[in-house]
Chain A
């Protein structure tokens, strides 16, 4: 048992993530080819506009459901809305934000763009703390659009052209269908002024998605309303990212590797639950932590992946360097 645990803690997280991400990318972008359908309540940006998807982003269904006239929304006819929400919650509660770091096709795509940038040996960009504090709020504005706009539609305060407003703005609608050869979303809808605005925004956001994630690691995730939605329920999730502040030396290794620039991961030594709203649960911080058990991923209080000195040494290739040297001799 200890051996298994040790092997897990020494895992090469980069490779592990790459294969899992590839698997989920294929599943969610091409799932329909294998007649897989995981439903319409997935907590990731697996876009329903892609006809080959193996499961759909919950926001598409949610916006649709919430846009019902209010008398129907608050009647028994809406039990479906409730069960939909519970299904979403069930999906989410198991894996917590690991959906972002491991399963979301848009997230994976950004990581691939990052790899491409690395191939060109171009340094990544970062935000300053003050920019960061402002930018991270944007995702809550999008979440507001996802939830409140359909409700306003339902009582007739907004016109029908605002239907699925967020989807029209979301880069996922343009990008995911692209992978199954569908470019039809790359257009501006000139039917009304609102439509022009929303689709232009979407197109601009998509261009920004590519440029941004080339420069900044996980650029889009700062703005993702799904990430904001996750955070509301993350306290109930089974997977937990935990920190033992006593063991932390604040060396900043975790902060340094964090794609989302979460400073708390290094500097907060009092919270036990160290998951923050921007977190994508990629576990890079755990892999980069050189202190025994300072950072760990728990399922129901059982440590499944924890930081160890041995694991750190392995991942930093400190051991292999020694081997290389003896080979040279």
Chain B
């Protein structure tokens, strides 16, 4: 008898690989840790549905793909479209993308380009907005355009202190609002924009409430889980996300009350650097598998998306749009800006407020800006007496052994510090 096997198409193979990557990480999240949260099931399930079963979430809506966090979600939602952030974390896509970018380019950019080149989307974007943030992303926009996707370049300044760049970015956002409204044939109205500002404000508010709980001596939630929650914001339906996080906040609040249910003994860590994006949650996972606990982070796949909120003085389009643009520029701690004092201040502040004992700084090999800021951040931490571990990694599943050893050693040293401190006190 002949073994009649169907030959797998390239797309099917990619999807199988991506599903395998997803399952591998989701299984670890679900099974490797004690004290799980029930409300997290929604998110495990969501990622499985989207990345393994390839279920579409926004079949009927117009989807606006975004390539960086600087694209104002508020405006897209107000125009009845759905923003889908396409920053990608799949190793499979990273390998596909390698054909389009230099070998030393950032894996995130390569993976994003790779996904476009394969054209393999669950929710295919109708329009892609690419803010000119870092060099590699700006150039990626043009590569993606050459593949036949409609790209909208949104001009973004590289300094943020000056009044000129503030005005420049405001104009950029005003133009974006106008152009997108024209493109979609939907009028931007005052009421709709106000509602979406408040809706997203509420999502941010929930995120902040979770964070407040993480500040306590009994942090109820794992950092990897937190990354999963914020990653879901990239593409989930806003309403369902809000409901799920509401449940999560409730459960976490209850959990902080009982000590044995939380992770109070693990060394507390602030995570900074290149963004962990599903399924590349490698480093956060390693940290927490080695008994560390990420209590706070400074990355654009989590904290930076939610941290700064919009305040409006006069609830009219003119003031709302300008306030929105300020939020995306002024508070941003992205390393693409000329100066990085704000980022350093943020990290130090997070360490203090979340009573963290150490910082882990990851840079993607090829992410120049994070690599270049490394020295100054390390220097500043040394000055403050905060232990910091600098790691370089990419999306490949290799090097795990070396990374594990370094992370375990770092966490062990934090525990030693703790013991020494306890001895010194007694």
Binding site for B on A (CB under 8 A): 118, 121, 123-124, 128-129, 245-247, 249-253, 255-257, 263, 266-267, 269, 284, 288-290, 309, 312-313, 316-318, 321-322
Contact = CB atoms under 8 A, between A and B. Distances in A.
A321 B199 contact: yes
A247 B353 CA distance: 9
A318 B205 contact: yes
Interface string B335-360: 00000001001101100100000000
Nearest to A249: B331
Nearest to B330: A252
The 3 closest A-B pairs by CB, nearest first: A251-B331, A252-B330, A251-B308
B345 A257 contact: no
Contacts of A256: 311-313, 322-323, 326
Contacts of A317: 198
B121 interface: no
A309 B208 contact: yes
19 contacts: A118-B314, A121-B316, A123-B316, A123-B319, A246-B345, A249-B342, A251-B307, A251-B330, A251-B331, A253-B309, A253-B310, A253-B311, A267-B161, A269-B345, A288-B311, A313-B201, A317-B198, A318-B201, A318-B202
Contacts of A318: 198, 201-202, 205
A267 B165 CA distance: 14
Q: Which secondary structure dominates where chain A touches chain B?
A: helix
Nearest to A309: B208
Q: How large is the interface on B (under 10, 10 to 19, 20 to 34, 35 or more residues)?
A: 35 or more
B309 A246 contact: no
A280 B197 CA distance: 28
Which of A129, A249, A267, A322 neighbours the largest number of chain B CB atoms within 10 Å of its CB? A249
A247 to B, nearest CB: 7
Contact of A124 (B314, B326, B352): B314
Contacts of B195: 321
A316 B309 contact: yes
A250 B331 contact: yes
A250 B163 contact: no
A290 B330 contact: no
Contacts of A288: 311, 313
A255 B307 CA distance: 17
Contacts of A247: 349
A249 B308 contact: yes
A251 B311 CA distance: 10
Given A251-B331, A321-B199, A129 B163 contact: yes
Nearest to A267: B161
A290 B318 contact: no
Interface in B298-312: 307-312
B198 A252 contact: no
B323 A246 contact: no
B327 interface: yes
A253 B349 contact: no
A271 B322 CA distance: 27
B199 A312 contact: no
Contacts of B310: 253, 316
